[in-house]
Each structure stands twice: as C-alpha cells, then as structure tokens.
Structure 1
Amino acid sequence: MSLARENRIDLVRGLSLLVIFVDHSNLSFSGALQHSRGFCDAAELFVMMAGMSAALAYHPASGAAGFRATASRTLRRSFKLYWIHLLMLAAVVAAVFLLPFIRDPALVREWSLDKLAAQPVRYAVEAIFLRYLPAELDILPLYMLLIAAVPLFFAAIDVAPRLALAASVALWLLAGIFHLNLVDFSQPKGLWYFNPFSWQLVFVCGLLAGLRVRQGQAPFAFSKPLFILAFVFCLVAIPADLVIHLGEYGETTPLRFLISKTSEGPLRLINALAIVYVVFNLDALQRLSPTGWLRPVFAAGRNSLPIFVLGEILSDIVTVSVFGREGIPLALELLAVFVGVAILLGFALHRDRAKRRRSGKPASSLLVASQPEPDYGPETTTEPPSIPDARPNTAT
C-alpha cells in the first residue's frame, strides 16, 4: 500500500503554537495580534486539526473489537490530558501563592485565582472535577471531552455521515440558542469558556475531513469559485474583526452572538472553515518540505502537547514580568517574543532528534493511507494534537 505524508496539519499546529505563546503573554500588542487574524483564531484551527488527526490515528477496524480498541485508546489519551491539566494548574497555583516575588493581586485577578485564594479547599475540589478552570487552562479540558467522545462520533459517522453532521449542527444551534454549557466557577458567567456542546461541531468537521484523507481523497474537494470566495472572506474578516473589537462593537447584539467564542459564533465557524479550505487547497503549502527551512515549525506541530505546555510556562513567565513591572518597554517585549519562540523551536527539534534516536528512523508526520487501514497505531502516526488556543481578553 502506498503512503503519502500529510504535513500541513503539523504546519498549521506549529505556527499556531508560536502565535499562542504571544497571545497568552499579555504583551502590549497581544490583543491587537489576536484580532488581526479575522473572526476566528488558533483555537478553531487546533480543534479542527485535532479532529483530522483523530480520524487518522483512531478510526477503528470494523466490528465490536475495533470499537473497544478505539475506546480504550481514546480514554487513555483523555486521562493523560487530565493529569497534565491538573499538574499545570497545581504549578501555576503554587507559583502564585508560594513565591513572594510573583504574588500580585492584579495577577491573581487576571488568572481568576481569587476564589481559590478565598476558599482553597472548595475550589481545589471543583478544579479536580473540572468545574474551576482558571489561569487560561481551559483548552485541555475541552479536548479531553472531545477525544473521549471520538468512538461515539465514529459510530454515528460510519452509519450516516450526513445525518451525523446534521446532528452536530443541531447540537451547536441548541447550545447557542439555549446556552447549554458546563459549569466553570472561574468565569464571570460561571460557564466553560469553550462550550463543548458548541465546539464539538468544529471537531466533527475535522473528523469528516480526516476520514476523507484516510480514504485517499482530498480533505476538502477543490472548487475554484468556492476557493475564491473563501480566500476573499479570510481577507475581509481581518479588518472587519479589528473594527468590531477596536471600536468595541463586539458587545452589542447581534454581533455578540455572531462572533462569540464561547458558543463558536457563525462568523467564527465560517472563518475557520474558510482558512482551512484555503490552506488545504494551496499547492505551494503541500509542496513545503518538513525537512527544509521550516523544519522547526513542523517539529513543533509534531510535538504539539509538550510544546504547548512549554509555551504556557514561558507565556506565564512573561506575564509575571509584565504585571510585576506594570509593563515593560517594547524592545524588551520583542526580545521576550524572540527568545520564547527560539526556545520553543529548539525544544521541538530536540524532541524530534530524541524520537529519531529511539526509533532509528527519521521523525515522521501523519501518514495518510491511499486506502483505508483497520487502525492507525502510534507507530504509524503522531498522536492527535491536544492543545489549545489563543483566546481574547474578554469572554463573549
């Protein structure tokens, strides 16, 4: 069976991870950078790439045995993400409350740790049950739920793909209209910032595209009129989003619903689909070599979970510096970005070399089969991405 490499998933993830680091660093230009990419941001791209990777890595062989094997693997992955999430939260809390030079009331408020400081036992328990997600540590819980639900998504899609997509759209609409969501005491509205009932649609779109790739088809069938329309939408969305947010129109109705990140508003969803459609139909991106000058970026995408964790640590360090000094000069901000990006890319290359030494083979990206296989194990494809996003300064 002939195999081809699908490297654009890693490229999108790697580039997004670098932008996420800047977005979460709370620099003077972080907000403007985030809103200069259109209605959506890295969150949608990550979740959609997660769906594509899950289709390649976890789609089961036919029958009950294949379903059980997939369920076992996805549950193990979810529990791994759960423990990583708790460790990251514990590290942030320990740093803020135990290190005198970090303890800052403004930082405690920024990371929504004030309730934990007031009632540590209660909110520590809530954190264990994912009902308290402070310090921007809310993307891993979303992915945790989505990856655990992968076998159910497969079961529905394998029976009737269009009906499964229609059901996903219906759930997205119901969640947006009736505000169906989970509890998060760290948020002003007391609800998850990334509503899983809304964001599952982004993930399902990725799953469907990944299953097409698995069957030897293009993830998004090319149509010249549709490509032009998607490209124009991506361009127009950039100044439109800047006008909305810089002009503070985003808090008004109906724009608030159209661009809501919590409910994955229609404009965000359309923008994300348009970006991915353009990216996966550009021949120039398909021809980019993962071993060329962009190798560190591809490596970051292949090692998305450790790179995300390191990026969060670095962005937290920068945030502490900004809050502790009430801002830093622009030159130091740019230096922090350069050093942080260099550390992330260097660590990604180190991870790739370590993998190559262990396996004796070059680090590979996602392997895409020209014909369906019973199962894609860890030895033939990287694990699906498990990361998170860049988020706006205020929830909608």
Structure 2
Amino acid sequence: MKKDRILSAEQAQPQAATVMKKERDPRLDFFRGMAMLIIFVAHVPGNYWAKFIPARFGPSDAAEMFVFCSGFAAAIAFGGTFRRSGFFMGTARIVIRCVQIYMAHLGLFFVLITVCYVATDYFVGFDYIGKLNLRYFDTNTGEALAGLFTLTYVPNFFDIMPMYIGVLALIPLVILLARVNPLLVPVFSIGLYIVTWYWQLQFPAEPFSDRPWFFNPLAWQLLFFTGFAISSGWIKPPTPNKYLLIACVIFVLALVPISNWPLMREFPVLKEIRTELVYGFKKTNFGLLRWLHFLALAYICVSLLKGHEYKLKSRYFDPIIKCGQQALPVFLLSMTLSWIGGIILDQIGRDAFGLTLVNVSGVAILIGFAYVMAWTKSSPWRAKSVNTVFPKQEEETTVRDRAVQPAG
C-alpha cells in the first residue's frame, strides 16, 4: 500500500509540472482586458475621455492590441488542436469558431439596431438610426438583410468581427505552410500584405457605394499572424536590449506630435509631416507605421515587465485580466454599452458629471459581466451540493461512493 502511494505521487509530479507549463501568461489577458476597456471608452459618441486613449498619441490603438493578442491566443487555443487531432479536426474547430463569431456579429447588429429604433421613437428629435449610419437598413430592409448575412453590408461600428472571421479563416493555410517550413508563414503574411496594397484588394462594405470593409483582413492578418507566429515559436522576438529599448522609446515619442490632432492644429508643420506619412497611418489597409508603432510599444512593455510578470497576478489587476479572459462577450457588451452611453449623454449632457457617470459605470458593468461569464463557464451547477430535498438519499449515495473507492 505504501509502495502504491509512492508510485501515485511520482506519477502526479510530471502531471503537476505539465499544468505549470501550460499556465496562462497573465500579460496576454491583461492587455486584452485593457483593449476591451479602451474600446468601450473610444466608442462612446462624443466622449471627452476618448481624447486620452492611446490612439491620440500614436498610430496604433486598442484595435492593434486586440488583434495581436487574439493572434497570440489563437495559436494557443487552435495550434494544440492541429497538433493533437490532426489537420481536419483543427480546421473543423476553426470553422466552428468562425460560425460563432459570425453569429455574434449578427446578434450585435440586431441588438444595436433595436436600441436605435427604440431610442429614436422615445427621444423626439434624435435620429439614432441615421446617426449610426443604418438608414439603408431602414429604407431597404430586404437588400440590407441579404447583404448583412453575406457580409457585403458591413456598416461602420460593426466592422471588427468580419475582419476577425477573415483572419481566422487563413489559419489552416498558415498551418500547412508551417509544416513545410515555419519561415514560410512570415513570407506568406508579408507577401499577402504587399499584394493587398499593390492591387488594392478589398471587400465591399455596402451595395450602394464603393466603400470597403473598414478593417481589411487581407492587411490586418499581418499583425494577427505576427502574434500567432511568436506564440507558436516560429519566429523569435528580440531579447531585451537597452539600446533597442531606447530606440523604441525615441520612435514612439517621435510619433506623438504627428498623431495628436490638437498639436497639429497648433503647429501646421506637424500636419504637413502627417500628410506626407498618411499611408503609414491608414487603418483600413493597416498602414505600416501602425505595425511598427505597435511592435515598438510591445517591445517596451515586454522589456519593462521582464521578470515582473507575476505582479500582474495581483488582485488589483484581476478585474482587467478577467475582462481579457472573457474577451468576446465583453467586447459585444462594450459595443452595446458604448452606444447606450452615448444616448444617455445626449439626454443628461456631456459635462464632467455625465461623462464620469457613463464611463465609470460602463467599465464597472463590463468588469462585473466578465466575472459573471467566468462563473458561468466554470459550470458551478456541476459542483457537489447537499440534497436538501431527499437528505436520506444523499446520505446513502455518499456511503455507496465511499464503498467503491479503492483502499489506501
């Protein structure tokens, strides 16, 4: 019996080590959570607080943070499936995830257009359908529904989910390339990015104009697969180096003046420089300056956190990490809350009190929702509970369970 205990303990040690190796990097969830909260603040219409989000001080913003972290997380979530269960099952899981995102996209649209109809009817003098640029859906509902379901009608404000579907759909191809040689992945990603710019490859966003998707997945895949390749170990990021760190800091600071509109209005020369570099700032086709700026910021953060990652596990950061762990549902709620917050501000005014009320309560609701989602996903109803209805039956079941347990 003692020998059995020793063997069991020895067998448990490698299992425990495996669990430790697979422990989730807190940096991933922390920055995804930060992106979710910033996205909320950024999408509240007429929100003065949005003047202080990262996008006002550089080309890249919370969208880049979200896409990179999503690529990094996708390698963890789906890469293991391709390795363990083969290419077919891995692809099937990608398809299922794309369907989930597609349904989430449709659900978000119908929730928000309902909010717009209700608010427009209730608050006289406010056209929230037109304000969200959904007049086409109101006047051409049949055509708009066909476009909505085929992703040929993608209004602004509903554009990031279709892009995410597009980059996810490329994962099976990237996995095949990596099996031949991992270096083919960056070659393919950079090549597709260049071809997209050269031939202006885009997806139509509405049938009545030539406006493309606001986020072009053929270009944004560059950032997504940068995170995916780093997470998979196909490419190695540079190790912390003080000279490279200084260069990144200088690069980031140099872009602040030509990224901040109040500064550019004050100094016209900055606006002229911005005009010369305008293609680097383009969001639809993911301008190159956005990529370089994000990589510089990421390198700065990684260097400063090196050896201190454990501090992110503090209970003070847990609310943000929880939002990152529940990124999809939190994102969907944040987009809905941001528009509702704009409606509230229209009614109570955008003074200090109104802005504080909407922003603080919105962030609090998102954090609370993240905890609720985490609790729900833990399946608490499966936990063993005392049978208060049939206590005798509960006692008999417990005795029977103990009887069948192995000795020792």
TM-score scaled by length of structure 1: 0.81
Over the aligned positions, Cα root-mean-square deviation in angstroms equals: 2.8
Task: Judge conservation of contact 1:146–1:200 (CA < 8 Å) in 2.
Answer: yes
- Name whichever of 349-358 and 248-257 sits farther off: 248-257
Gaps of 5+ in 2: 1-17, 384-408
Partners in 2 of 1:49 and 1:187 — Cα distance? 35
Q: Which amino acid aligns with 1:337?
A: N
Matched with 1:57 is: 77
Aligned to 2:223: 202
Distance in structure 1 (CA, Å) of the matches to 2:155 and 2:347: 19
Match of 2:34 among 8, 15, 35: 15
Q: Report the AA paired with residue 154 of structure 2.
A: L
1:350 aligns with 2:369: no
Structure 1 stretches of 5 or more lacking a match? 361-396
Q: Is the 8 A contact 1:97 1:103 kept in 2?
A: no
Shift of 1:231: 2.7
The letter for the 2-side match of 1:287 is: Y
Aligned 1:73-84 pairs, distance under 5 A: 73-84=93-104
| 1:1-396 matched pairs, under 5 angstroms | 1=18, 2-3=20-21, 4-34=23-53, 35-60=55-80, 66-99=86-119, 100-101=121-122, 106-185=127-206, 189-212=210-233, 220-243=238-261, 246-247=264-265, 249=271, 253-281=275-303, 282-283=305-306, 286-323=309-346, 327-356=349-378, 358=380
Give distance in 1, aligned partners of 2:205 and 2:335. 20
**Structure 1 residues 157 and 187: alpha-carbon distance in aligned structure 2, compared to 1, 3 A threshold:** farther
Q: State how far apart, in whole Å, the 2-side matches of 1:221 and 1:158 are.
A: 26
Relative distance call for 1:208 and 1:78 in structure 2 (3 A) is same
**Cross-structure match for 1:386:** none
Does structure 2 retain, via aligned residues, the 8 Å contact 1:23–1:33? no
**Would you say how many aligned residue pairs link Structure 1 and Structure 2?**
356
Instruction: Indicate the larger mover: 327-336 or 113-122.
Output: 327-336
Partner Cα distance (1:57, 1:199) in 2: 20
In structure 1, distance between residues paired with 2:364 and 2:118: 29
**How far does residue 350 in structure 1 lie from its aligned partner after superposition?**
2.6
Percentage of pairs with the same residue: 26
SS of 2:24 mapped into structure 1: strand
Q: Which has the higher helix share?
A: 2
Please give the per-residue CA displacement for 1:310-337, whole angstroms capped at 9, x wherever unaligned.
Answer: 1112101012223456x52232112211
- Distance across 2 between alignment mates of 1:317 and 1:232: 39
Q: Output the amino acid matched with 2:128.
A: L
Give the Cα separation in 1 of the matches to 2:194 and 2:313: 39
- The one-character-per-residue Cα deviations of 1:255-293 (angstroms, maximum 9, x if unpaired) are 221100011111111011112222223226512243521
Structure 2 counterpart SS, 1:287: helix
- Deviation readout 1:356-388 (Å, 9 max, x if unpaired): 46387xxxxxxxxxxxxxxxxxxxxxxxxxxxx
Q: Which residue of 2 aligns with 1:375?
A: none
Which residue identity lines up with residue 26 of structure 2 in the other structure? N
Q: Which has the larger radius of gyration?
A: 2
Letter in 1 for 2:260: L
Displacement, 1:218? 7.0
Task: Give the letter for the 1:222 counterpart.
Answer: P
In structure 2, the partner of 1:390 is none
Residue 80 to residue 339, structure 1, CA distance change in 2 (3 Å): same
C-alpha distance 122-252 of structure 1, shift in aligned 2 (>3 A): farther
Q: CA deviation at 1:94?
A: 2.2
Cα distance between partner residues in 1 of 2:263 and 2:50: 10
- Corresponding residue number in structure 1 for 2:393: none
